[in-house]
């Protein structure tokens, strides 16, 4: 579909500088802009491209002040990146959606299937499963006994949702994710072998949660593993049994949280972070990439980083010392040499 600058500005509540009637039918990066596409400028590092881009429309922040003439039509908005996200979501919702149940799907008689549901090839729906209205389940998924999937949720290929688990409304679960697998629970026998502890809890995923591809979320050993409303989980993440993640927290790829840890609201956990079990992470905490968190973070709004995560400014000071260790070591050796020579001269 084609959209004019006027239609886009009206949708976003923005203002136009340039041709109100110029049309776009696709998107492009600002450095690769082509006629008939819409682009955006949110990061000042890319400003030089806006003077050269061939994109027909560019979203910019209200406070953007060009230093040269721009050929593209500008649509000014409070936040260009957020505006782009809203446009992309609008376009996604207007795409034709799949409907119907593939003849190869296996649905147990006791399952309850809502209206306007799409169930793809070779999907299995178990006993007493509840699939609410407008759910989309792509091929080779398995939704096991007594599970529930809320209205408007989209589940991509080869996702497995174990028994008893609950997924809320308007969630997105990407391919090959496993929800409700057993937590890592074993008791040690006197002879050193391990005795498996049954995992009798479940996973509860609240509304508007997105979970990336290849992620694993373990069921509670007793009670539930819980992802609260608005949580965003990236690809290839491990969330252990009885973890709770607070509303609108986000977690980047290849991170992991050990059992029974509670993460607060509005937290940001960057990539390759490891968080120990049985600790608390306060609201609005940011944990930098490659960090290891072994103790509770009790003060909200802090930024932590490091192999043993500490407040970021302390980490930067520590790294400054670490970076200078070769010179410091050389200085210490020189001082030791001088002290030795001084002692020898005093003993003569």
CA–CA gap between residue 148 and residue 111 (Å, rounded): 10
Q: Which is the catalytic residue, given 163, 174, 241, 278?
A: 241
CA–CA gap between residue 312 and residue 304 (Å, rounded): 5
CA–CA gap between residue 17 and residue 164 (Å, rounded): 54
Backbone phi, then psi, for 159, in 5-degree steps?
-80, 140
Token digits for 336? Answer: 């030791």
Which 3 state secondary structure label does DSSP give 313?
helix
The answer to whether 113 touches 131, Cβ cutoff 8 Å, is: yes
R_g over Cα of the chain: 27
Which 3 state secondary structure label does DSSP give 327?
helix
Render 102-121 in DSSP notation, one character per residue.
-TT-EE-TT-EE-TT-EE-T
Please name the residue that has the structure tokens 């408007």: 152
CA–CA gap between residue 156 and residue 172 (Å, rounded): 8
Q: Does the active-site annotation cover 241?
A: yes
The answer to whether 311 touches 304, Cβ cutoff 8 Å, is: yes
* Catalytic residue numbers, as ranges: 241
């Amino acid at each position: 579909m084609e959209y004019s600058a006027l239609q886009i500005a009206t949708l976003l509540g923005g203002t136009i500088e340039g041709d109100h009637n110029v049309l776009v039918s696709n998107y492009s990066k600002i450095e690769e802009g082509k006629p008939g596409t819409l682009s955006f400028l949110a990061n000042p590092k890319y400003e030089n491209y806006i003077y050269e881009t061939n994109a027909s429309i560019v979203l910019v922040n209200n406070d953007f002040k060009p230093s040269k003439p721009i050929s593209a039509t500008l649509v000014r908005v409070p936040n260009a990146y957020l505006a782009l996200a809203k446009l992309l979501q609008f376009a996604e919702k207007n795409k034709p959606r799949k409907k119907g149940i593939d003849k190869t799907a296996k649905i147990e008689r006791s399952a309850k299937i809502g209206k306007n549901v799409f169930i793809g090839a070779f999907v299995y729906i178990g006993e007493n499963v509840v699939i609410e209205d407008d759910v989309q389940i792509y091929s080779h998924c398995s939704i096991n006994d007594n599970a529930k999937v809320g209205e408007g949720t989209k589940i991509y290929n080869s996702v497995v949702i174990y028994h008893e688990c609950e997924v809320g409304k308007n969630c997105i679960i990407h391919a090959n994710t496993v929800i409700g697998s057993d937590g890592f629970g074993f008791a040690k026998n006197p002879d050193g072998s391990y005795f498996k502890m049954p995992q009798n809890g479940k996973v509860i995923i609240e509304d508007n949660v997105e979970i990336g591809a290849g992620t694993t979320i373990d069921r509670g050993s007793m009670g539930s593993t819980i992802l609260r409303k608005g949580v965003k989980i990236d690809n290839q993440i491990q969330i252990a049994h009885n973890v709770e993640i607070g509303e609108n927290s986000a977690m980047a790829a290849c991170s992991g949280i050990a059992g029974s840890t509670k993460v607060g609201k509005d937290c940001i956990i960057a990539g390759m972070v490891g968080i120990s079990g049985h600790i608390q992470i306060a609201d609005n905490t940011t944990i930098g990439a490659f960090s290891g968190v072994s103790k509770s973070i009790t003060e909200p709004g802090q930024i932590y980083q490091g192999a043993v995560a500490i407040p970021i400014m302390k980490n930067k000071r520590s790294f400054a010392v670490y970076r200078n260790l070769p010179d410091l070591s050389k200085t210490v050796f020189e001082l030791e040499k001088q002290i030795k020579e001084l002692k020898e001269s005093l003993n003569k």
